[in-house]
Structure 1
Amino acid sequence: MTKILMKGNEAIGAAAIAAGCRYFFGYPITPQSELPEYMSRHLPGAGGVFVQSESEVSAINMCYGASGAGARVMTGSSSPGIALKQEGISYLAGAELPCVIVNIVRGGPGLGGIQPAQSDYNQATRGGGDGDYKLLVYAPSTVQEMVDLVGEAFDKADLYRNPVMIVGDGMLGQMMEPVEIGRTPAASPIEKPWATTGVATHPGRRNIINSLFLKPEELEAHVKHLFDKYEAMRANEVRVEELGVEGADLVLVAYGTTARIAKSAIAHLADEGIKVGLIRPITLFPFPMGSFATLPERVKDLLVVEMSMGQMIDDVRIANEGRRRIHFVGRTGGMIPTPALIVDAVKSILDGQPGDAPLNAVGPQKGDRR
């Protein structure tokens, strides 16, 4: 199959159409605006509908309506826009409606800046809406992986009747890489007998899409049902890449674009005879807890690398269960870690510096020129 050179945001749109998405509701915001632009040009030609809503709040509620009718639907935005969608995301989760949500993360908080960041980790994995709910969250590190995960996101959203989020960043959304799209909708897409299509699937009984339960015992039972699905995700949907952890002196933990930078640092260190491994979560929820339980005993230190102030550290601490020292190095606000920053941090740790995620490692470091 021929590869096509595409910008990340546009590749998401092409992959979504190939996966059977026929409705996109969104609002332009840098650095993801190419996604709605692509969908506005190409979705009508595939028999679909693109709507530029008057706001992000409108967009997510349009997704609620289209998903409730059984359609494959997507929305996209960047950090503050995703923040505005949080109530609607909670409604989608509560009503058990599948939807794919793309967040091309920029620096924050607030309007912040338009440069790449990973500071929406907590928003994606903890949820910014009300109540007890979870999203299945993918974190691709290449444009091709982002393309592949778009199709999987639609399938898993339908399978679990739950919103799925793809978390990229401004660099991944804007960079161009050769990709193969190649996916077509399944010949027999999953049946949706719950959808409100206007046709009764059970004689004398109407389908109702709802997240309101006025009897507390009914709401409790519903939430427990939702969490049964999330436990199934933990059992079946963990995705992780492990690189060189056997025989490593130290293991990096990084996801998305930052993991690519970490791999460059690992190559530099290998040239100097320093063995460093990598745990790259591909699903941020469910988090790959098992990868930390099976690390070799010789590994005494973990170094978390992020384009944030260290939001993933909490999950690493939970997964680590006190077995190893945890350190942190990163940049934030739209600044990007360099391989040299990671190399210097690794050398300092192996020279005996204290651990447990010292946040003073954030910012420009010695040797931050490479």
Structure 2
Amino acid sequence: MKYLIKEILRHRWRTIAGISGYAIAVLFILLVVSVSMTSERDSVGILKSTGTHFIVYIPSSSSCCSPTDNDASDGSLTAEGGYTMMLNSDLIYSVREIPGVKDAAPYLLYKIFDRYYNCNISLGGIDTSSIAARNNVCASTNLIEGRYLSGNTDEVVAEESFAMAHKLSVGDTLKTYGGRLVVGGIVNSGIKPGKADLYAPIEHVRTILKDSLNCISTGFDMNIIVVEVSDARIQNRVISQLKEKMSYLSVSSYNCYQPASEVMSVIEGTSSALSIVIFLFLIIFSAKTQITSLMERIREIGILKSLGWSDSRLSRQILSISLIQSLMGASLGIIIGLGIINLLNHYQIRIFNSLEFYFQPDKLPLLLYLSLAGALMASIFPIIKLHRTKAGDMINNYF
């Protein structure tokens, strides 16, 4: 150790060059990782929840309901334009148990042909507390006028297109579904798999269908399950597992999660590739530094070998010097990098006017490990040359 310290101090400029190389490499890796983490936090954070919802139901060739003699004739449970069967409420718990499912909730969608309006009118019953219902059907953020499902049993919200087609405004009354429904609000839910003309809390819709349409059976009080997945990248796996577990269910999704998943893979792959390239440059630079150091000390190393120093002892010296330089350089690079990040964030300096530098402290050990790994790999070639060269050749010749 005493000789090791003397060697490091005796060749100061060589030591400074080695430490600087590691510091610069670690600094660049830190900055690249910081920018890529910001990109992942912003872009991936949005993309991972893109299209992560779908509906499941059991298709049927005919209506399973028997409407009473009123204006709700020709009614049926529906999904994706076709007939469906009623589902047992216990099925939701089975869906929730599938790994990757963030939420699953009941949905009751019924369609009638209304003679007064001379058109089909669909009524959707949603669980207002469910994120799966909000993303698959309708949410309070979709409200454009009035109020969103206040809780009054006779109040509904109408889709904007339906309201415009029938010249409906907030406060108007619809005589349909065997009673009077008041338009409490108007929404524009966009393109969603559970879209309907009218929406109400599922408890209210169950009451309407039970009392007026004789459609609800004990334990069978929904015809669709709306599902929310935790990450777009695993949605294919979730759907596959659901179909394996419950093959009788039909799954409907708009598949926008697939391009989102592909974009996330590209973003993650790009940041990883940049880090790998910088790490390779670190190894190349470190190896060059170690070889240069060995060439400069070739004669004295040859003398030490002739005096009885073993190859393993000299190898340990080379490796120890490389590891010490890498540790010092990595520490210096991290300190400088964190200082730069704090200054840039303090003065709100952004990359491409949008990306800020963001770094998680738990990544610091990884940078140290990368630097030490680079030092270890960079020492391999000089050590091999050391073992293959005789002491006399080292004293009389350079590599």
> TM-score of the superposition, structure 1-length normalised?
0.19
Select the structure with the greater relative contact order (CA < 8 A; seq sep ≥ 6): 2
> TM-score of the superposition, structure 2-length normalised?
0.18
Greater share of residues in helix: 2
Larger Rg: 2
